[in-house]
Structure 1
Amino acid sequence: MVARRAARIALILWLCQHVDYCLRRCAMSRLPRLPRLSTLLAPPLIAAALLHLSAQAQVTPAAPPAYDAALAQSLGGSEQGMRPYVLVLLKTGTTPVPKGAERDRMFAGHFANMERLAKEKKLVVAGPLDGVNGLRGMFVFATADIDEAKALVATDPVIVQGEMVAEYHKFFSTAALMAVNDIHHRIRKK
């Protein structure tokens, strides 16, 4: 890191000298002789560079966090910190529920169901999608078994009523996803 900074400083000094050379070469002979640009800029640049390098030398880089075996085990992580999941893509279904009280109850049940599954540590992540190509939402379940994920999705009112249909995919990612719901509740104001 110090060598990289020293190289940058050397480059700045070289640029100053190059600009000075170009100015002198292009200057007309009748103009008064200008002081060398590198002579004017070099002392303050060198002083600033030395101060910067000495300040950087005193900063010790942070040590990487230590491996926490208990945390990895509690999240179901492998030695690489990974674990299997099932990703569920929710698409527009064939029988959309018209706007009104029934649709409002269906979506209230949808959100209540997601909350329940998250508290049970079965639903890891969920959220809406942009609707492109009929994709409306997604779930990530803490299971490697698609049949188990299908059973969990079957409890959702938007699936039961045909508003949405589900597509299932095995998914392998960081075990840290298992901590998302706990963190979310700490940052959620409402």
Structure 2
Amino acid sequence: MNRIAACALALLCALGAHAQEAPATYDAAKAQAWGANDQGMRSYTFVLLKTGPKRMPDGPERDAMFKGHFANIQRLAKEGLLVYAGPLDGVDGWRGLFIFASADQDLVRKAVDTDPVVVNGEMVAELHRHYGSAALVGVNDQHNRLIKPKP
């Protein structure tokens, strides 16, 4: 297992282990809204984005492709389907990851296939089932509270 895989696995395990600690206060409404089972867990789809067969040359078209990639991420997050996205360092061709709030891999594949980096062959997506803390569903809301407003 390479370092990136080990780090991603450690992060996901840490989130899962934390979710198994006894909660200070049980929030039944949030558990239901986030699809949590009795252990506070739920199913997701983990998507690993890898370097694809067609690197787009530097320039305006590449810039537009990545602008579309980030817009697609925001759209899927606002829809509540994408709960986490982030880049990786590119070692071993691993470029980024998504975690979708759905175990339906056909649905996730259709969503991933709308991303300009996938459409253009810059990246390819590898889908995996993942079982983790239902609290991941709340990441986008919490993240938005951390973005400092522009003056």
What TM-score do you get using the length of structure 2 for normalisation?
A: 0.82
Paired residues for 1:102-141 under 5 Å:
102-141=61-100
Unaligned runs of at least 5 residues, structure 1: 1-63
Cα deviations by residue, 1:58-104 (Å, 9 ceiling, x for unpaired) = xxxxxx62211111001110010000000000000000100000000
Greater relative CO (CA pairs within 8 A, separation 6+):
2
Cα drift, residue 189 of structure 1: 1.8
**Which residue does the alignment assign to 1:77?**
36
Q: Which of 133, 137, 142 lines up with 2:101 in the alignment?
A: 142
One-letter identity of the residue aligned with 1:128: P
Q: RMSD value over aligned CA atoms?
A: 1.3
- The aligned length equals 128
**Which residue does the alignment assign to 2:126?**
167
- Whether 1:181 and 2:140 are equivalent positions in the alignment is yes
More helix by share: 1
Structure 1: 4+ residue segments shifted above 2 A? none
One-letter identity of the residue aligned with 2:86: G
More strand by share: 2
**Which residue does the alignment assign to 2:15?**
none
Q: How many percent identity over aligned positions?
A: 60
One-letter identity of the residue aligned with 2:116: P
Distance in 2 of aligned mates of 1:147 and 1:115: 20
